[in-house]
Structure 1
């Protein structure tokens, strides 16, 4: 009986070939990934470079345009337009602002506070000033004023009484006085005006709107006199009038036109005398 020949197989040799094959495959894959990554990185760097160059070129063009505008006559102020501040002298406002035709528009946009401070320092009416530009070289001053709560009679005209407690700088004729606002007359002392103004501001808005005139020609410092739009006169005490207004509407419905409603001590009414009518301008 013939013995079969046994061939010896080295498992390490077989496994080694397999492992070498696997290793080569991984190397190929890694090389492919590295190549793709390098290609992507190169592309990203190229795009980033183009973006930076585009940004630099864009900024340079804008700078050249801005510089060209600044040194051109188009950047010089050609005119000044005033909006708001209707009772202020416009030529004087421009002169006070120290704006000159040869100046550059951009300089005033960058130094807005300088113009604002010059105008608010001179005119008590001016609350603040905004600056804008029309048609490249027309400077527009938007003047915002304090609210007018009334007028005070002066020797030759009327001044605004402003919401922050100061008087306007301009002396106005009667036709410039708003008929919706009360007029303070006969106030020769600033203290009495401040006291009555403080009282007026504390009164209900519906009562304020009915007042035509406040008179400082009183017998006592504590007394206050209101001429109402309906032709009646109200007398009160600075300290107690506000608390007594609850009687006003009730009394008003019972009296006729040109009556005196006295809330100073008690609460009563009577018709005005002919002399009182003349004194309050009701005849």
Structure 2
């Protein structure tokens, strides 16, 4: 006798419905993929065109740069000097060894070399920065060293620079900045350097009061300073640094222009007529 298995119609219907849903889902997925393909293709074309455009732009820039470099427009046509003060512009250009046949870009790349060369030739030059104006105008922006004072050399004067060097140009009395101290009577470079080093160690408020330093001393260790108020300080190079701080207090008790001797201790006396004449004090 054959076994009879009963099937639930609901189960059969559920299987049919699930199969129909899966087939509809597959159709829907195929439709989504088909609709996305044109968008993906457009995105790929856009990316390809962007990369191609970038390559073309870079190539054009390189071609233009090469064309400019080999053309006369890349040659230095003009050199302009800024911030050189008393220095002669033509001398600066000659010392830089830049000529009209040189390429602007090569000169800009040699900025540090040119700056060192000019600093070596002209003590006044601290540094030089090269810039470009237009197609081929080269600008020299000169930064000069600070001027500390002036040293008298015969009948003319030369700048004393912040690094201790002397300026190349000789100046007349009218060209000197009289707010800065004069170093007079220094026949030996060694004594000038010694006194300059000591002077630089003084406080700024005291340096601003110094009118002149005299190298005409009786001893190598002696230092003489003429102040803007007409007083004269005499000190010892080994101890003067620690004693100048008392000057403002001492001068308040003076009733006439005096010598303030700080070599050993500190004492004062009025200036003689000969001393006033020797130091140019009226």
TM-score clears 0.5 = yes
C-alpha separation in 1, matches of 2:257 and 2:98: 54
C-alpha separation in 1, matches of 2:131 and 2:39: 49
What is the match of residue 165 of structure 1?
Answer: 164
Q: What SS class does the counterpart of residue 235 from structure 2 fall into?
A: strand
**2:280 matches 1:281:** yes
Indicate conservation of the 8 Å contact 1:75/1:136, yes or no: yes
Greater shift in the superposed pair: 169-178 or 92-101: 169-178
What is the match of residue 214 of structure 2?
Answer: 215
C-alpha separation in 2, matches of 1:184 and 1:8: 125
Greater shift in the superposed pair: 93-102 or 186-195: 186-195
Q: What SS class does the counterpart of residue 131 from structure 1 fall into?
A: strand
What is the match of residue 88 of structure 1?
Answer: 87
C-alpha separation in 2, matches of 1:248 and 1:157: 31
**2:43 matches 1:44:** yes
C-alpha separation in 2, matches of 1:32 and 1:83: 73
C-alpha separation in 1, matches of 2:230 and 2:91: 40
Give a deviation string over 1:96-141, Cα, whole Å, max 9, x none. Answer: 1011112222221222123112212212221111011223222110
What is the match of residue 129 of structure 2?
Answer: 130
What is the match of residue 119 of structure 2?
Answer: 120
Offset at residue 27 of structure 1 (A)? 1.2
Indicate conservation of the 8 Å contact 1:149/1:182, yes or no: yes
Unpaired segments of 5 or more residues in structure 2? 1-5
C-alpha separation in 2, matches of 1:36 and 1:108: 60
C-alpha separation in 2, matches of 1:174 and 1:126: 22
Greater shift in the superposed pair: 251-260 or 107-116: 251-260
C-alpha separation in 2, matches of 1:164 and 1:36: 78
C-alpha separation in 1, matches of 2:51 and 2:256: 83
Unpaired segments of 5 or more residues in structure 1? 1-6
Offset at residue 41 of structure 1 (A)? 2.8
C-alpha separation in 2, matches of 1:101 and 1:43: 54
What is the match of residue 253 of structure 2?
Answer: 254
C-alpha separation in 1, matches of 2:116 and 2:203: 35
Offset at residue 215 of structure 1 (A)? 0.9
Q: What SS class does the counterpart of residue 70 from structure 1 fall into?
A: helix
Greater shift in the superposed pair: 238-247 or 224-233: 238-247
C-alpha separation in 2, matches of 1:232 and 1:174: 22
Give a deviation string over 1:20-74, Cα, whole Å, max 9, x none. Answer: 1121122123223433443343222112112112212322333333333333333
Offset at residue 257 of structure 1 (A)? 4.7
TM-score (normalised: structure 2):
0.89
Which aligned pairs between 1:139-150 and structure 2 lie closer than 5 A? Answer: 139-150=138-149
Indicate conservation of the 8 Å contact 1:247/1:267, yes or no: no
**Number of residues of Structure 1 aligned to a counterpart in Structure 2:** 278
Offset at residue 12 of structure 1 (A)? 5.4
Q: What SS class does the counterpart of residue 151 from structure 1 fall into?
A: strand
Offset at residue 191 of structure 1 (A)? 2.8
Q: What SS class does the counterpart of residue 181 from structure 1 fall into?
A: coil
Indicate conservation of the 8 Å contact 1:251/1:268, yes or no: no
C-alpha separation in 2, matches of 1:243 and 1:110: 49
What is the match of residue 174 of structure 1?
Answer: 173
Greater shift in the superposed pair: 29-38 or 107-116: 29-38
Offset at residue 214 of structure 1 (A)? 0.7
TM-score (normalised: structure 1):
0.88
Mark the CA change 1:134 to 1:8 in structure 2 (over 3 Å): closer, same or farther.
closer
Greater shift in the superposed pair: 103-112 or 222-231: 103-112
What is the match of residue 3 of structure 2?
Answer: none
